[in-house]
């Protein structure tokens, strides 16, 4: 017997899950798994519990696709996991149901668009760097001011913390740490 299982997520405690839960239950979800956690992390206990609970033939329902993944790549990974386990995905807002051939096609199109977009960005970046070089520019980090570097290293050698020395000289903390890594500051 197949079931519809819902997944609702909000980013903060200030937000309310009730609206999502009502819509999922109205769509036939007999149980709704919940997370109150930022989409920035993919460690979501509610989603993990749901994925442990679903069985082949079940459907995972969400109100919107962005509740399931922060990026298209994350979303496609979840859908692939579901597909491998024989579980369909139903998104109420986008009206996508991967149990149908049309719904599965939509996801393949999303994946192709995402890959195309990544390649376009890489090509534009390469073209931009080549264009800048042809005009005599040197893309990347500007060269480190050697006087500032030496002054910061002297401060660290005299006992000042690298963080304080970097702030005082006007260097980035990570830049100074990178510079003193190869130095012997004994």
Closest of 62, 20, 11 to residue 40, by C-alpha: 11
Q: Catalytic pick from 2, 11, 38, 134?
A: 11
3-state helix vs strand vs coil in the chain, percent to 5: 50, 10, 35
| Distance between CA atoms of residues 145 and 127, nearest Å | 29
Question: Is 2 an annotated catalytic residue?
Answer: no
Asked if residue 62 lies in contact with residue 6, where contact means CB atoms within 8 angstroms, the answer is yes
- Which H/E stretch holds residue 31? strand 31-36
Q: Is the dihedral of CA 129, 131, 132, 133 positive or negative?
A: positive
Could you tell me the CA-to-CA distances from 149 to 48, 77, 159 in Å, in that order? 48, 45, 16
Catalytic site positions:
11
């Amino acid at each position: 017997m197949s079931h519809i299982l819902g997944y609702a997520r909000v980013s903060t405690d200030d937000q309310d899950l009730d609206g999502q839960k009502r819509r999922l239950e109205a769509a036939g979800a007999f149980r709704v798994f919940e997370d109150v956690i930022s989409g920035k992390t993919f460690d979501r206990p509610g989603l993990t519990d749901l994925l442990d609970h679903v069985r082949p033939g079940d459907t995972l329902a969400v109100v919107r696709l962005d509740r399931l993944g922060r990026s298209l790549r994350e979303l496609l990974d979840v859908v692939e996991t579901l597909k491998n386990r024989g579980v369909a995905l139903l998104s109420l807002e986008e009206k996508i149901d991967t149990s149908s051939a049309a719904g599965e096609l939509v996801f393949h199109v999303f994946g192709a668009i995402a890959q195309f977009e990544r390649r376009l960005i890489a090509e534009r970046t390469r073209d931009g760097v080549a264009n800048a070089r042809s005009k005599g520019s040197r893309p990347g980090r500007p060269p480190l001011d050697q006087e500032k570097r030496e002054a910061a290293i002297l401060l660290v050698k005299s006992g000042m913390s690298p963080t304080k020395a970097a702030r005082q000289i006007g260097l980035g903390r990570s830049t100074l740490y990178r510079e003193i890594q190869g130095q012997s500051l004994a």
